[in-house]
Amino acid sequence: MVLQYAKRFYFIEYYALLLEAIYKYSIISQAQTEFIYQKNSHYLGLSRYRKISSNIEDGTLLKSKDQYEYTFSQVLLECKNFNLVQEDKLTKTILLTEDGYKLLEAFKSNKHQYKEILLQLMEKKYNAFSYLLSKFYEISPQKSGLIIFPNYSPNDLGFSKSEFETMGVVYKYIQKYEQKIVDDLKKYINQKYIVTNETTELISELMNKNYVSDNLLEKFNLKKYNAVVRKTQIYWRNRLLEFYGINSRWQAFEIWIYRAKQLGILNTTPFYPDFLGQIIYPVSIITQKKLANSINYKCVLNYNNKKFLYKREVQWQTIENEFFNELWNVYSELKKRNRINFLSLHNIKEIVCYNLKISYEQFSEFLSEAYDKSLNGNTSYTISLEADKLPEETNAIYIKREPIFINGKNRNIISLSYRGNENE
């Protein structure tokens, strides 16, 4: 099976925003304007932190609008594929179908149901999630489906930009990149990568683009530095997809991975502490029989081939003690290393979610429960949450990491203290 190329957009809220726009305006041009307005209002641009500026006079706003119109067309096409809308091309009007009304109502009243409906629509159309989950567990059974895509900058490998003076240095960087890939695959998921002609192939591609030459003593043009680095990273992403046996190019794979994360099927992050690159691991399973009396998994889809998709959905009552202990243990370890009290909540989230195999959404739900108990003095731990940015956290990283909302407020850093039990 080839992983089908989905329309190029990421946020699953777009379906609801488009349906709401069409509900208000049946004329496509008016619905598009409303969609762009709602997209901006919900902070759904390149990041959930950013929105379109309405006071730009240098052409950037126009460029953003063009991109948003493209996004509208992509979402509209998928809504047609899912039979959520019907278009009359003669009158240039569009209306919601019965399924479209149901999905919009679910978005307004029950976000969990909204996600389940979307999951079923996507899976019945593309079967992408079943394909990916099966591949992950097949690739890395001892690591519960964990796969990795290492990604290194020259600095990560010990090369400063100023050192890229000759073609020979570029070659050394590419060779070291390859060796680091091999080492990390063995270290993190116990996979043995057999090197064949990768470095030769990559250098040949760079030569075809006139980025490098075969003369190792020739001076390297630093204007091509970013292109070489980017091309090297892209090459290895696609090479690793081949190594894992995933029949897809990176763009299609990335879209489906991000959708699966939003639907609570898997977790993925390029910011896992102390790892250079992206990790992906399932928080759901595909089975050939129903799980009887399972309180930690919910069946969300029955396949025609008599398989079942179960999302891991743990109840707070069953995980409360374990969650508190894990939160404390991870915080204590990171505090010992960093020697400060307030730590990145994002880093702690990544480790806790991986250790407990819970979705990012459930982490926020559980932390909200824990925080409320702490405020009410009903726990042994005092939890402090703040929205401040840590000094070492760059703006580039800050805007790329999705916010963690606790009780409706964005939180970025955390501090814990142990106050003991009253009976102690």
The pLDDT value recorded for residue 381 is: 87
**Which pLDDT does position 402 carry in this prediction?**
83
* % pLDDT > 90, the chain: 72
pLDDT value, residue 395: 64
Domain ranges of the chain: 13-126, 127-282, 316-418
pLDDT value of residue 47: 47
The pLDDT of residue 58: 37
Q: Are strands 343-344 and 284-287 parallel, antiparallel or unpaired?
A: unpaired
Mapped onto helix, strand or coil, the DSSP state of residue 77 is: helix
Token reading at 319 = 């995980």
Residue 145 has pLDDT above 90, yes or no: yes
Q: Is the per-residue pLDDT at 182 higher than 50?
A: yes
| pLDDT of res. 412 | 92
Site of tokens 């047609």: 80
Note the Cα 284 to chain centre separation in Å: 16
pLDDT band at residue 51 using 50, 70 and 90 as cut-offs? very low
Q: Give phi and psi for 375, each to the nearest 5.
A: -65, -35
pLDDT at 388 over 90: no
pLDDT band at 387 (very low <50, low <70, confident <90, very high): confident
Residues 6 or more apart whose CB falls under 8 angstroms from that of 263 comprise: 12, 115, 118, 119, 129
Structure token pair of residue 1: 């099976």
Residue 117, CA distances (Å) to 114, 263, 401 in order: 5, 10, 26
User: Phi first, then psi: what are they for 333, rounded to 5°?
Assistant: -65, -45
Q: Distance between CA 368 and CA 383 in Å, rounded?
A: 10
Contact call for residues 273 and 392 (beta carbons, < 8 A): no
Top-confidence residue, 64 or 171: 171
- pLDDT beyond 80 at 298: yes
Chain centre distance of CA 399: 14
Residue 8 binned pLDDT confidence (cut-offs 50, 70, 90): confident
Whether the per-residue pLDDT at 65 is higher than 80: the answer is no
Q: How far apart are the first and last CA of the chain?
A: 60
* Residue-wise burial string across 300-329, b where 16 or more C-beta atoms lie within 10 A, e elsewhere: bbeeeeeebbbbbbbeeeebbeebbebbbe
Q: How many other CB atoms sit within 10 Å of the CB of residue 281? A: 20
Q: pLDDT-derived band of residue 378, with 50, 70 and 90 as boundaries?
A: confident
More reliable by pLDDT, 68 or 16 = 16
Tokens of 345: 């909540």
Model confidence at 230, pLDDT cuts 50, 70, 90, reads very high
Confidence of residue 61 (pLDDT cuts 50, 70, 90): very low
The pLDDT score that the predictor gives to residue 31 is 93
Pairing of strands 266-269, 277-282: antiparallel
Q: How far is Cα 248 from Cα 254, in angstroms, rounded to an integer?
A: 10
Share of the chain above pLDDT 70, in %: 91
- CA separation for the pair 194, 185 (Å, rounded): 11
> Dihedrals φ, ψ of 413, to 5°?
-130, 160
pLDDT computed for residue 57 by the predictor = 35
pTM, 2 dp: 0.90
Distance, in Å, from the CA atom of 158 to the CA atom of 174, rounded to the nearest integer, reads 12
Supply the pLDDT for residue 64.
55
Q: What is the mean pLDDT of residues 304-328?
A: 93
Identify the band that residue 215 occupies on the pLDDT scale cut at 50, 70 and 90.
very high
Q: Which residues contact 267 (CB under 8 A, 6 or more apart)?
A: 261, 280, 281, 283, 353, 354, 359, 360
The domain defined by 13-126 folds into: Arc Repressor Mutant, subunit A (1.10.10)
CA distance 7 to 295: 35
For the chain, the average pLDDT equals: 89
Contact 341, 335 (CB under 8 A): yes
pLDDT tens per residue, range 103-115? 999 999 999 999 9
SS3 394: coil
Q: Residue 34 — pLDDT band, cuts 50, 70, 90? A: very high
Across the range 169-190, mean pLDDT stands at 97
